[in-house]
Amino acid sequence: MLTTLIRPDAGTAAIDGIDVVKNPDDVRRRIGLTGQYAAVDERLTARENLVYIGRLFRLGTAEARLRAGELLNRFDLADSADRVVKGFSGGMRRRLDIAMSLIANPSVLFLDEPTTGLDPRSRLGMWDVIEDLAADGTTVLLTTQYLEEADRLAEQIVVIDQGRVIAEGTPDELKSRTGGALLQVSIARAENRELAMSVLTPLCTGRVEVRDDRTFEAPITAGDRVVPSVIRALDDAGVDVLDVVVRRPSLDDVFLALTGHVASGEEATS
């Protein structure tokens, strides 16, 4: 809807103050869009793909070639500029796809799950590209199912579950909703499970969750200061402790707390 591909059933939306329904052509002149799958022509070279898109945006031939050269350098594709795209790796295709969406210098860039299917190295490289775009002043709206990705890249997060917005805020604001910190305790013997839970419950600020027969997790507010108390209490109860860790909640923890299930739908970040 924000990219004017479909009309909203209700409500209003604007890009750069322009109504997406009333003035869709004006909106399209200001945005770039990269979908879930790279929309590159495998029969063309990287340079030819970029020039082709530039011409569609009504750039002159010389201007389109100049802009293509700038983007090839920016996305580390200059050495492969005149290679046919069919031989590109997934990461190279993704970089080219984003470069094509930037040919007309959009003020707002939509990225729909840009790292899906990429290997870890390519994913990290794509994160660097997105951070550079935002640093240069481009407004990036990113949809992702990888909450680690949202945590690293997003200034503002909107969590969507079953098609509805259920939470929004900065990563730190969302994490604070789970209680601020999580205590993880591993014990030596599974037969002490119930005893360990009874000892941990009064020391924590929320429900003690059982991760497996010997590992527990619960929200706390005291941070590292609770660790000595936990160890002493379990020792006094005769429960042998293997490990006690205090960590900040992740966005996966936030999503689980908000929805009751792990992330598998749409989480939109910007």
pLDDT per residue over 63-104, tens digit each? 999 999 999 999 999 999 999 999 999 899 999 999 999 999
The reported pTM is 0.76
Report the C-alpha gap between 93 and 246 in whole angstroms.
41
Task: Give, for 31, the enclosing helix (H) or strand (E).
Answer: strand 31-34
Q: Where are the domains of the chain?
A: 14-144, 179-248
Q: ∠ at Cα 212 (211, 217), nearest 5°?
A: 30
The first and second tokens of residue 267, run together, are: 């989480």
What is the Cβ-side half-sphere exposure of residue 131, based on CA atoms within 13 angstroms? 11
The answer, yes or no, to whether residue 265 has pLDDT greater than 60, is no
Categorize the per-residue pLDDT at 119 as very low, low, confident or very high, splitting at 50, 70 and 90.
Answer: confident
pLDDT for 116 equals 85
> In the beta sheet, which residues pair with residue 220?
181
Confidence of residue 261 (pLDDT cuts 50, 70, 90): low
How high does pLDDT run on average in the chain?
A: 89
**pLDDT surpasses 90 at 250:** no
Task: Give the Cα separation of 238 and 261 in Å (integer).
Answer: 34
Strand-pairing partners, residue 241, are 187
What token pair was written down for 61?
A: 């031939």
Mean pLDDT of 121-130: 89
What is the pLDDT confidence band of residue 240, given thresholds at 50, 70 and 90? Answer: very high
User: Which 3 state secondary structure label does DSSP give 253?
Assistant: helix
pLDDT of residue 255: 84
Q: Cα separation of 58 and 65, whole Å?
A: 12
Instruction: Name the residue among 41, 30, 40, 36 with its Cα closest to residue 3.
Output: 30
CATH topology of domain 14-144: Rossmann fold (3.40.50)
| More confidently predicted of 64 and 206 | 64
9-23, 222-236, 248-262, range with the lowest pLDDT: 248-262
Q: What is the pLDDT of residues 138-169, one digit of tens each?
A: 999 999 988 899 999 999 999 988 888 899 99
pLDDT at 264 over 60: no
Q: Where are the alpha helices (DSSP H) in the chain?
A: 24-28, 46-56, 61-74, 90-101, 120-135, 147-153, 171-176, 193-200, 226-236, 251-259
Question: At 245, is the secondary structure helix, strand, or coil?
Answer: strand
| Range in 79-88, 230-239, 249-258 with the lowest mean pLDDT | 249-258
pLDDT for residue 51 is more than 70: yes
- What are the angstrom distances between the C-alpha of 245 and each of 179, 195, 228, 242? 16, 19, 11, 10
When comparing pLDDT for 175 and 70, which is higher?
A: 70
CATH architecture observed for domain 179-248 = 2-Layer Sandwich (3.30)
Q: What DSSP string describes 94-131? A: HHHHHHHHTTT--SEEEEESTTTT--HHHHHHHHHHHH
pLDDT at 269: 57
Q: Which two tokens stand for residue 217?
A: 């997790």
Q: Is pLDDT above 70 for 222?
A: no
Give 40-64 as a 3 state SS string: CCCCCEHHHHHHHHHHHCCCCHHHH
Measured CA to CA, the distance from residue 84 to residue 88 in angstroms comes to 8
* 224 pLDDT tier (thresholds 50, 70, 90): low
Asked if residues 142 and 34 have their Cβ atoms less than 8 Å apart, the reply is: no
With a cut of 90, say whether residue 121 has pLDDT above it: no
pLDDT at 15 over 90: yes
- Write down the pLDDT at residue 162: 84
The confidence score (pLDDT) of residue 145 equals 87
The CA-atom distances, in angstroms, between 236 and each of 76, 196, 198, 231, 232 are 60, 11, 13, 9, 6
Instruction: Sort 194 into a burial class: Cβ within 10 Å, 0-12 / 13-18 / 19+.
Output: exposed
Q: In which band, very low, low, confident or very high, does the pLDDT at 221 lie, cut at 50, 70 and 90? A: confident
